[in-house]
Amino acid sequence: MSCRVSWRKTAGSENAGRAVLKDWAIVKAQSEHGSLDKAAGSGEIRLQEIAGVWKMAGYNEEKIKRMKDLTAILLPAARAYYQESRELMSNREYDQLYDELLKLEEDTGVVLAGSPTQQVGYEVLSELPKEAHETPMLSLDKTKEVETLQEWLGEQEGLLSWKLDGLTIVLTYEGGKLIKAVTRGNGEIGEVITNNARVFANMPLQIAYEGQLILRGEAVISYSEFEKINQEIEDVDARYKNPRNLCSGSVRQLNNEITAQRNVCFEAFMLVKADGIDFKNSRREQFEWLRSQGFDVVEYQSVTSMTLPQAVAAFSEKVQSCDLPSDGLVLLMDDIAYGESLGRTAKFPRNSIAFKWADEIRETRLKEIEWSASRTGLINPVAIFDPVELEGTTVSRASVHNISIMEALRLGEGDTITVYKANMIIPQIAENLTGSGTVKIPDSCPVCGGQTEIRQVNDVRSLYCTNPDCQAKKIKSFTLLVSRDALNIEGLSEATLEKFIAAGFIHEYADIFHLDRHQETIIQMEGFGQKSYDNLIAATETASHTTLPRLIYGLGITGIGLANAKMLCRTFHSDFSAMRKAQKEELTEVDGIGEVLAEGWNRYFSSEKNNRQVDDLLAELTIEQEPESQEEEVFAGKVFVITGSVEHFANRKALQAEIEKRGGKATSSVTAKTNYLINNDVTSNSSKNKKAKELGIPIISELDFLSMLGGDDNAD
Cβ contact 213:471 at 8 Å: no
Residues linked to residue 171 through DSSP beta bridges, in sequence order: 181, 215
Residue 59: CB atoms within 10 Å: 20
Residues linked to residue 132 through DSSP beta bridges, in sequence order: 189
d(CA 625, CA 390): 58
Q: Which residue type is seen at 53? A: V
Active-site residue, 356 included: no
d(CA 87, CA 70): 17
d(CA 142, CA 140): 6
d(CA 46, CA 322): 42
Concatenated DSSP letters of 479-521: HHHTSTTTT--TT--HHHHHHHHHTTS-SSGGGGGGGGGGHHH
d(CA 523, CA 511): 17
Beta strands in 305-415 (DSSP E): 326-333, 352-355, 362-373, 378-390, 393-399
Element (H, E) at 339: helix 336-341
Q: Kind of pairing, strands 676-678 and 699-700?
A: parallel
d(CA 452, CA 443): 5
DSSP state, residue 89: S
Element (H, E) at 368: strand 362-373
d(CA 565, CA 627): 16
Selection from 18, 282, 248, 500 nearest residue 489 by Cα: 500
Could you tell me how many helices (H) and strands (E) the chain has, helices first? 27, 26
How would you label 61-93 residue by residue, b for 16+ Cβ within 10 Å and e otherwise? Answer: bebbeebbebbebbeebeeeeeeeeeeebeeee
d(CA 167, CA 184): 8
Cβ contact 265:169 at 8 Å: no
- List 55, 130, 163, 499, catalytic entry: 163
Cβ contact 132:187 at 8 Å: no
Element (H, E) at 272: strand 265-274
Residue 369: CB atoms within 10 Å: 18
Q: How many residues does the chain have?
A: 716
- Residues with a known catalytic role: 163
